[in-house]
């Protein structure tokens, strides 16, 4: 496993989620009410200001004592740090994060610049991305991420990152992604030389479509497994010729249980957290993945996790507490290994999506349980 992503400290809340909710006594869910505990825990996680928690903790470590409610203090200190440490004005987007808006993940330079302003080192930045931004750090096929990876890993000042970002503006993204992310990462680790790194980067940066090629291949292989299952066991007329679009839609139904949402009884005044529902695959994004077109990292990661969940549990039988636990351990290890191979962030129990997926895995009928969760 990748030690960069897995050596994350746990607190008591994370331990509880891991040991009791995700790996505790399995549930036997038959109605939406049977999964309330898992949904409520995910809602609680979704409502927690994890970004502000991490920011307050770091600022307190740096000598500015504050809590998540002290947004004025935090905003003033962040602005000061951007000006004094980075020599630039704090971006409006970052200011909005401190005021309570969920951090954005599109312009990742803002995320890295904040870590620089907070005087974080490489390991602290890695942990902050996973635990407080709830996303992967250092996607090295992106030239922006690669530059920050080089600078954080080799302890370069922010001025070096700013200079390289400016020089890299003219770098043309390569048409084909022949080099794996791990190879790029290994080169960056081994090269503490400004000119050599920029020369390498000029021929090893890629557009979104060329990023995560390993993940895209695995996802498409997993999609084919789901489609084969649908064609074998689906409720279709004998000899019916399914169109590609309809088969894609049936794949989503198989993963998410959407067909049950129209008639399923919902629990009043409950809903899934945004971090669970946003970036779930739909007809458009699934088609884009299959065709090799651009989709976000979050869509790719969630799609992969749902596919692995389905394809693991259609063949794994949870007969009792012991087999449920054994299968869950195997699924957890297998999924984390695949996430690592794809360059994705590992399973993180404090993320509402990851937490709910493990909660469903810890049941006698994992796929049906996930479909029940989808009724909220």
| pLDDT tens readout for residues 93-117 | 999 999 988 888 778 999 999 999 9
Q: Is the pLDDT of residue 262 over 50?
A: no
Nearest CA-CA partner of 39 in 373, 280, 347? 373
* Sign, Cα dihedral of 217, 223, 227, 229: positive
Q: How many CA atoms lie within 13 A of 3 on its CB side?
A: 2
- CA separation (Å) from 293 to 192, 284, 302? 34, 10, 17
Backbone angles phi, psi at 184, to 5 degrees: -65, -45
Q: Where are the domains of the chain?
A: 14-46+212-373, 140-211
**So what's the pLDDT on residue 44?**
87
| pLDDT tens readout for residues 3-17 | 444 455 556 666 777
Full-model pTM? 0.80
What are the tokens at 109?
Answer: 């330079």
Q: Is the pLDDT of residue 259 over 50?
A: no
| pLDDT tens readout for residues 108-154 | 999 999 999 999 999 999 999 988 998 888 988 889 999 999 999 99
> How far from chain centre, in Å, is Cα 132?
12
> How far from chain centre, in Å, is Cα 171?
28
Q: Which residues contact 185 (CB under 8 A, 6 or more apart)?
A: 138, 140, 149
User: Which residue bears the tokens 């791990």?
Assistant: 182
Report how far residue 307's alpha carbon sits from residue 222's, in angstroms, rounded to the nearest whole number. Answer: 6
Report how far residue 21's alpha carbon sits from residue 123's, in angstroms, rounded to the nearest whole number. Answer: 28
Residue 10 DSSP one-character state = -
Report how far residue 91's alpha carbon sits from residue 317's, in angstroms, rounded to the nearest whole number. Answer: 51
**So what's the pLDDT on residue 135?**
85
| pLDDT tens readout for residues 320-368 | 999 999 999 999 999 999 998 887 888 888 889 999 999 999 999 999 9
Report how far residue 46's alpha carbon sits from residue 273's, in angstroms, rounded to the nearest whole number. Answer: 5
Contact 354, 19 (CB under 8 A): no
- CA separation (Å) from 21 to 31, 137, 329, 357, 375? 18, 27, 14, 11, 20
Contact 289, 216 (CB under 8 A): yes
If you average pLDDT over every residue of the chain, what do you get? 87
What are the tokens at 365?
Answer: 């009928």
| pLDDT tens readout for residues 264-286 | 444 444 588 888 888 899 999 99
**What is the percentage of the chain residues whose pLDDT exceeds 70?**
89
Q: How many CA atoms lie within 13 A of 249 on its CB side?
A: 6
H or E segment to which residue 308 belongs: helix 297-313
Q: Which residues contact 188 (CB under 8 A, 6 or more apart)?
A: 140, 146, 149, 150, 153, 197
Contact 319, 365 (CB under 8 A): no
* Lowest-pLDDT range of 34-38, 166-170, 207-211, 230-234: 207-211
Contact 119, 85 (CB under 8 A): yes
Residue 145 DSSP one-character state = H
Q: What is the mean pLDDT of the segment spanning 195-213? A: 84
């Amino acid at each position: 496993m990748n030690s960069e992503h897995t050596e994350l400290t746990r607190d008591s809340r994370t331990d509880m989620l891991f040991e009791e909710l995700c790996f505790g006594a399995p549930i036997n869910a038959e109605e939406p009410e049977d999964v309330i505990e898992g949904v409520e825990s995910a809602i609680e996680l979704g409502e927690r200001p994890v970004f502000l928690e991490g920011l307050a903790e770091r600022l307190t470590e740096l000598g500015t004592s504050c809590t998540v409610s002290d947004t004025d203090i935090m905003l003033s200190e962040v602005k000061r740090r951007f000006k004094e440490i980075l020599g630039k004005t704090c971006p409006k987007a970052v200011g909005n994060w401190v005021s309570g808006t969920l951090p954005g993940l599109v312009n990742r330079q803002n995320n890295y610049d904040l870590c620089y302003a907070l005087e974080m080192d490489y390991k602290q930045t890695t942990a902050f991305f996973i635990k407080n931004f709830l996303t992967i750090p250092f996607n090295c096929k992106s030239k922006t991420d690669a530059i920050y990876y080089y600078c954080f890993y080799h302890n370069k000042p922010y001025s070096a990152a700013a200079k390289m970002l400016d020089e890299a503006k003219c770098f043309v993204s390569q048409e084909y992604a022949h080099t794996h992310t791990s190879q790029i990462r290994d080169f960056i680790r081994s090269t503490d030389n400004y000119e050599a790194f920029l020369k390498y980067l000029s021929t090893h940066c890629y557009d979104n479509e060329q990023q995560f090629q390993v993940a895209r291949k695995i996802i498409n292989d997993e999609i084919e497994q789901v489609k084969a299952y649908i064609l074998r066991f689906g409720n279709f007329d004998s000899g019916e010729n399914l169109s590609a679009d309809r088969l894609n839609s049936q794949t989503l139904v198989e993963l998410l249980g959407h067909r049950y949402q129209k008639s399923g009884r919902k629990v009043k005044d409950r809903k899934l957290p945004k971090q669970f529902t946003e970036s779930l695959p739909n007809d458009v994004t699934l088609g884009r993945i299959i065709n090799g077109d651009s989709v976000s990292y979050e869509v790719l990661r969630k799609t992969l996790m749902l596919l692995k969940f389905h394809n693991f549990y259609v063949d794994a039988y949870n007969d009792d507490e012991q087999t449920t636990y054994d299968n869950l351990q195997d699924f957890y290890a297998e999924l984390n290994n695949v996430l690592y191979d794809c360059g994705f962030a590992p399973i993180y129990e404090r993320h509402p999506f990851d937490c709910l997926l493990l909660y469903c895995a810890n049941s006698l009928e994992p796929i049906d349980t996930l479909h029940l969760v989808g009724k909220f």
